[in-house]
Structure formats: C-alpha cells, structure tokens
Amino acid sequence: MYVQELCSSWIDTPFWQKSFMLSEAEELKKIQATRIRHAWIDVSKGLDVLGEPDVKLQAKPDPEPVPEPVPETVPAPAPRQIAAVSMDDELGRASAIVSKSKQAVFSMFNEARMGKAVDVDNAQSMVEEIADSVMRNPGALIGLARLKTKDDYTYMHSVAVCALMVALAKQLGLSEEEAREAGLAGLLHDIGKMMVAADILNKPGKLTDAEFVSVKEHPAAGYKLLKDAKGISAVALDVCLHHHEKIDGSGYPNRLKGDEISLYARMGAVCDVYDAITSDRPYKQGWCPAESLRKMAEWSKGHFDEKIFQAFVKSIGIFPVGTLVRLESGRLAVVVEQQVGKSLLLPKVRVFFSVKSMAYVAPELIDLSRAGMNDKIATREDAAKWGIKDINRYWLGEAASNR
C-alpha cells in the first residue's frame, strides 16, 4: 500500500516521510500503535485495491449540456494565528521536533548521498513543524538545536539553520509562506556536504589545502543534487549555492558581492555562521552565543549584510538563550528566554550562583523586565572561568532531566 499521507501531525507519526510505500507488517504495526485512524492512499501505486468487477453497463443517452459555471473569486486564505507560549510550555514539543528532525535529515541526506532525489514534500512537512515551534517560542527549538554533538553536527546544523532562517524571516517582516521558504532553504543549504569525504568533515586538525578545496566544493555539489529534484524552489537552490558568499566579494564559489547576493542567501550566510561558531566541532569547542554575536559584529562590514545582521540579533537577542551573565547584584545567571516586545537587555534569567559567597544558590527564575526589578545584566561571563561544566541544565529547567 502506498501511503500518500497519514491524517495526523508530522511530529505524531512514526515515520519522517509524508508519503511512503507500506510494505512490511512491522511498519503497519507502528501505525496501528498510534492514535492515527485515517490515511490517504494512492491506489495507482499500491497493490491494495481489488480489481473492479466485470460489469457490463447499459448505454445511456448523452446528458444535456450543462452551462459553464461562472468562476468565483476565491479570497486568499487568512494567515494562521499561532499563539506565543512560554519557554517551559514549548520545550517539550520542541525537543520532540528536534529529535525527529535529526533522524529525518540523516535519512534524507544519506538518500541523497546514494543518488536518490530529495523529496520536497517530505522535507516541507518537517519545515512546517519547525516553523510552527519557532513561531510559538523561537528560543526553545533554536536553543535545543544548538546542543548538538560533534558526531551529529552536519544533520543538526541543518535543523538549526532552518529554525534560525524562520526566526530571521519573521523579524524581517516576510510573509508566513516566505518564512517557510527560507526555512526549507536553511534545511537543505548544506546537503552538498554529503559529497565530501567524512574523514575530511570530521577531521580534528587543520585541513590541508587540498582538503579545504574539497570542502569548498560543497555548495556546487549541493546545487547539483537539488536542481534535479522535483519541486525545489529557486530560493533553496540559491541559498545552497551562495550561502558562503560575502558582501565584500571574498566568499565562494562565485565571489559575488553586495547586491549581487540575494536576500535569502545573505540571510543564510548569517544563520550558517552563527550556528557553526556556537556549536562544538571536531576541531574546536563552540563559543558562547553572546560572544559569537560580538565576533560576528566585528566581521559584519566585510562578511554580512549589516541590516540583516542587526535583524538577526533582534530575532535571537543580544544575550541569546543559554548565555551566562553576571547581574549587578553579584549573582551568575543563565538567559532562559527573550521576551517579545520588551528590551533585548531584559530577558528572563535563572540565577544559580553567588559571586559574593562563591557558592551555588537555589535556582530562581527572574524576569528582568518586571516592574520594580532593580537588578540587571552587568556583563557576559565565561562558564570555563567559573568551572561550570553544564550550563545548559539551568536554562533547560525540567526539560534537562529528559536529555
């Protein structure tokens, strides 16, 4: 049986694909074990429908001609309203989306490595789940996607850039459709790395000149993979090929500069670099999110479109989720959540350490924007300086126990 679509949310199905051939009894049992009760099937692709009985029908007179209906103007659908929720309310669902998305990207990229065409419909279902989570609370999924291991970097990097592109598109005022287009481009931007040898991608030391040339070929390799797939948009192709171009013309593969680089490719350049430098890689530890933004600001004049970079900072905050800060009260805290419509300097933080007594204190969630709150962020801090090994458990809260 060819399943065209299971009547359920993508995150609630046991398969990452939207459409697939159901050929094993075990696969059927997985579906039956869920709450899914209906599915659309494509009878032209499966062997599940009996042949029609051989019945001779009596000839009927030709029906009277029916006048052509007057076409009606169909109004465009209203934008969906996705309600914002707190970090705590979104973390659980975002965690499930990240977990499933990682496996989905792994499967999709490896199918591409073996020469199979990318299925845009299946990828789009994933992007919609990621985009909806970002719309509800961007910090949850973006923060979780940053917590990748060295081994799953390539796959989780794609998930993270997808989420960052959606958040940036929202900040730039793009439509819901354009935001999802940007998200799909972010998801597929690094698919060309499947054509680069794994020992080069995972090399812990400095690359040789020849190895670096091989890595620099991944945008063109990805473009070649995607252009033969059905339904791949010009936006996804453009971002895949040009996310390493720089405003000053020093990027690759075409050394484009300024307005020669499209809006989406300029967005992709910012999102790609941010996730890369905040993530642990085989050859280096990731930088703190706030420190990464500071470094990118120094590079912005030559590397990035400054207006897009400024919008990116607004989309994730001057002190992004997971940043260790010291408050004026002499306490260390980790940034837990940015607050829509409020100052980027006044996020929610979780206090856990007293600098004055040099001792841990009971974790406490504080809203720095609350009326009457006298405390505020004094500076960003380095977790290594204070010997803090797992800072993420403080912003994850109860979700840390599920990791």
Which tens digits make up the pLDDT trace of 283-338? 788 899 999 999 999 987 789 999 999 999 999 999 999 999 999 999 999 999 99
- Examine the domain organization and report whether 239 and 96 are in the same domain: yes
- Examine the domain organization and report whether 283 and 329 are in the same domain: no
- Examine the domain organization and report whether 213 and 355 are in the same domain: no
Which residue, 275, 300, 316, sits at the end of a domain?
A: 316
Determine, yes or no, domain membership for 60: no
- Examine the domain organization and report whether 253 and 284 are in the same domain: yes
- Examine the domain organization and report whether 340 and 272 are in the same domain: no
Determine, yes or no, domain membership for 76: no
pLDDT of residue 46: 81
Structural domain harbouring 6: 2-41
Determine, yes or no, domain membership for 12: yes
Determine, yes or no, domain membership for 80: no
Q: How confident is the model at residue 402 (pLDDT cuts 50, 70, 90)?
A: low
- Examine the domain organization and report whether 305 and 329 are in the same domain: no
| Spatial CA neighbour of 106 closest among 162, 152, 165, 160 | 152
> How far out from the chain centre does Cα 29 lie?
30
Which residue, 289, 316, 343, sits at the end of a domain?
A: 316
| Spatial CA neighbour of 184 closest among 170, 163, 199 | 163
Q: How confident is the model at residue 55 (pLDDT cuts 50, 70, 90)?
A: very low
Q: How confident is the model at residue 20 (pLDDT cuts 50, 70, 90)?
A: confident
- Examine the domain organization and report whether 109 and 198 are in the same domain: yes
- Examine the domain organization and report whether 292 and 336 are in the same domain: no
| Spatial CA neighbour of 349 closest among 332, 329, 371, 330 | 332
What number is the average pLDDT over the span 101-128? 90
Q: For 184-228, how does the pLDDT look when each residue is reduced to its tens digit (9 = 90+)?
A: 999 999 999 999 998 998 888 889 999 999 999 999 999 999 998
Q: How many domains does the chain have?
A: 3
- Examine the domain organization and report whether 264 and 341 are in the same domain: no
More confident residue, 83 or 171: 171
Determine, yes or no, domain membership for 49: no
pLDDT of residue 26: 83
- Examine the domain organization and report whether 378 and 301 are in the same domain: no
3-state secondary structure the chain: CEEEEECCCHHHCCCCCCCEECCCHHHHHHHHCCCCCCEEECCCCCCCCCCCCCCCCCCCCCCCCCCCCCCCCCCCCCCCCCCCCCHHHHHHHHHHHHHHHHHHHHHHHHHHHCCCCCCHHHHHHHHHHHHHHHHHCHHHHHHHHHCCCCCCHHHHHHHHHHHHHHHHHHHCCCCHHHHHHHHHHHHHCCHHHHHCCHHHHCCCCCCCHHHHHHHHCHHHHHHHHHHCCCCCCHHHHHHHHHCCCCCCCCCCCCCCCHHHCCHHHHHHHHHHHHHHHHCCECCECCCCHHHHHHHHHHHHHHHCCHHHHHHHHHHHCCCCCCCEEEECCCEEEEEEECCCCCCCCCCEEEEEEECCCCEEEEEEEEECCCCCCCCCEEEECCHHHHCCCCCHHHHHHHHHHHC
CATH number where 204 lies: 1.10.3210.10
- Examine the domain organization and report whether 15 and 105 are in the same domain: no
Q: How confident is the model at residue 68 (pLDDT cuts 50, 70, 90)?
A: low
- Examine the domain organization and report whether 231 and 303 are in the same domain: yes
Which residue, 316, 350, 365, sits at the end of a domain?
A: 316
Determine, yes or no, domain membership for 67: no
Determine, yes or no, domain membership for 47: no
Determine, yes or no, domain membership for 59: no
Q: How far apart are the C-alpha atoms of 90 and 337, rounded to whole Å?
A: 11
Q: Residue 17 above 80 pLDDT?
A: no
Contact 377, 325 (CB under 8 A): yes
Mean pLDDT of the chain: 88
